[in-house]
Amino acid sequence: MTRDLAAAALLTIFAGMKVLTGLDSVTRRLPDGLRGKRIGLLCHSSSITSDFRHITEVFGKNDGCILAALFGPQHGLSGQTQDNMIEWEGTTDPELGIPVYSLYGLHRKPTRAMLEGLDALVADLQDVGARLYTYIWTVKLCMEACAEAGIPVWILDRPNPIGRIQADGPVLQEEYYTFVGGASIPLCHRMTIGEMAVWIREKHIPHCELHVVRSEGWRRNSLYSETGLPWVLPSPNMPSQQTAAVYPGTVLAEALNLSEGRGTVIPFELTGAPWIDGRRLLAEMRSRNLPGCSYRMHDYIPTFHKYAGEYCRGIQIHVTDAALFRPVTTALHLFDAIIRTSPENALKFNPPPYEYEYRLIPFDILSGDSRMREVLTRGLSLTEETERWKASTEIFGKEFSQMALYED
């Protein structure tokens, strides 16, 4: 097939799509700022076009630039590492013959040697709308390194798969900045990874030369299923859009002695433990009448991770209306309900370390401060806590609206 015919075929494919990602746009036309340049790519398994071609194929076969290096975040270039704190080592790509650098191992920030000879760093990562998802913080560290080296950063943007879900949860306090949070945004924030990069530049790295190739045709209030884009797991325990919807809240179970459903086919949708009374928990959660979701009792035996091989009792959260659902608020009520329906002192907060943080309590760095933990341990008002979040997210929302790249 000639290059013109191939381009025409791609345009036909894209014409039927409702949304084009930044990578789709670059596939159609390479930006002038990247032409003739030596490019480093920060990417992973979800860095694909609408017709399922990986970004390394797109740039590797593009005569307009030179693909010189690959960088991978947590879970690796192919999503090969299953759990948190499983580091991976760099290598040489066997087909392209270029270095592959790990940014989840000995180094989380690119070194000067890694960036040597590059004219630009291009990042294409699928985020899931939760502040503690580490990919954006790898981007932040890359922005810092590139700013220091005088190298521009290009973000090929993608839709936030849970953009319809309103901002929810605590705004991260600066004293709790770690690798799972490096900017004062809510736990569930509604931004794309491109918008977060803009926020980071404005707030933290103003000297970074940043370019964002926007997604075309996307509105924040849309569901991911409405975009026409394929879903490829951005991390090993993010199998579906339903998982992404509940994740900003139930991921907090990583910092508790609860199973968050790892070792099953629906991680983060399930929450349980051997000592939970599933029937009492289900009745308690249903009595709270939280909007946008329903629950179902679900027992399971994880094949790995917490309570591997043990019989766990718990519930599955089903999102019924994304516009009304509040994932962090629901998780707060879930943990409180577990405390109230389980044996005394059964629920425990895990001690450090967690994601390269060896001092602060894991639940606090995930939630954003110590207050949410204190509300749960001291039996304080959940309403007052969620009102506190609402006040801070409204302030955030007003400021973010000045930087937003997309309309609702």
Q: Between these two residues, 159 and 83, which has the higher pLDDT value?
A: 159
The whole-number pLDDT of residue 82 equals: 73
Is the distance from CB of 112 to CB of 32 less than 8 angstroms? no
Tens of pLDDT, residues 350-365:
999 999 999 999 999 9
The whole-number pLDDT of residue 78 equals: 82
The whole-number pLDDT of residue 9 equals: 47
H or E element, residue 90: none
> How far from 59 is each of 49, 87, 123, 174, 193, CA to CA, in Å?
12, 26, 12, 38, 20
The whole-number pLDDT of residue 77 equals: 87
In DSSP terms, 38 is beta-bridged to 66
Across the range 19-35, mean pLDDT stands at 97
The whole-number pLDDT of residue 80 equals: 79
Q: SS3 sequence, 212-273?
A: EECCECCCCCCCHHHCCCCCCCCCCCCCCHHHHHHHHHHHHHHHECCECCCCCCCCCCEEEE
Query: Strand, helix or coil at 208?
Result: coil
The whole-number pLDDT of residue 396 equals: 97
Q: Between these two residues, 54 and 1, which has the higher pLDDT value?
A: 54
The whole-number pLDDT of residue 196 equals: 98
> How far from 145 is each of 139, 149, 150, 151, CA to CA, in Å?
10, 6, 9, 8
Domains and CATH numbers, the chain: 3-8+16-230 (3.40.50.12170), 241-397 (3.90.1150.140)
The whole-number pLDDT of residue 76 equals: 84
Residue 200, by phi and psi: left (phi above 0), alpha (psi -120 to 50) or beta? Answer: alpha
The whole-number pLDDT of residue 159 equals: 98
Dihedral in degrees, nearest 10, Cα atoms 117, 119, 120, 121: 0
DSSP structure class, residue 31: -
> How far from 111 is each of 85, 92, 143, CA to CA, in Å?
20, 17, 12
Across the range 138-161, mean pLDDT stands at 98
Across the range 325-333, mean pLDDT stands at 98
Dihedral in degrees, nearest 10, Cα atoms 299, 301, 302, 307: 100
Tens of pLDDT, residues 198-217:
999 999 999 999 999 999 99
pLDDT higher than threshold 60 for residue 339: yes
Tens of pLDDT, residues 270-279:
999 999 999 9
Query: What's the first-to-final CA gap in the chain, in angstroms?
Result: 40
Tens of pLDDT, residues 57-96:
999 999 999 999 999 999 888 877 777 777 889 899 999 9
Handedness of CA 107, 111, 117, 121 (dihedral sign): positive
Tokens of 303: 């094949």
Residue pointed to by tokens 């797991």: 233
The whole-number pLDDT of residue 5 equals: 42
Round the average pLDDT of the chain to a whole number and report it: 94
In DSSP terms, 342 is beta-bridged to none
Q: Is the peptide bond before 99 cis (omega within 30 degrees of 0)?
A: no
Tens of pLDDT, residues 188-201:
999 999 999 999 99
Query: Strand, helix or coil at 111?
Result: coil
Residues in the chain, total: 408
The whole-number pLDDT of residue 128 equals: 97
Residue 14: pLDDT band (50, 70, 90) is: very low
Residue 322: pLDDT band (50, 70, 90) is: very high
The whole-number pLDDT of residue 209 equals: 98
- Alpha helices, DSSP H only, in 61-123? 112-115
pLDDT higher than threshold 60 for residue 403: yes
The whole-number pLDDT of residue 1 equals: 41
pLDDT higher than threshold 50 for residue 148: yes
Tens of pLDDT, residues 100-137:
999 999 999 999 999 999 999 999 999 999 999 999 99
Burial of 155 (0-12, 13-18, 19+ CB in 10 A): buried
The whole-number pLDDT of residue 392 equals: 97
- Alpha helices, DSSP H only, in 34-165? 55-60, 112-115, 135-149
Across the range 1-25, mean pLDDT stands at 62
Is the distance from CB of 213 to CB of 22 less than 8 angstroms? yes
Query: Strand, helix or coil at 17?
Result: coil
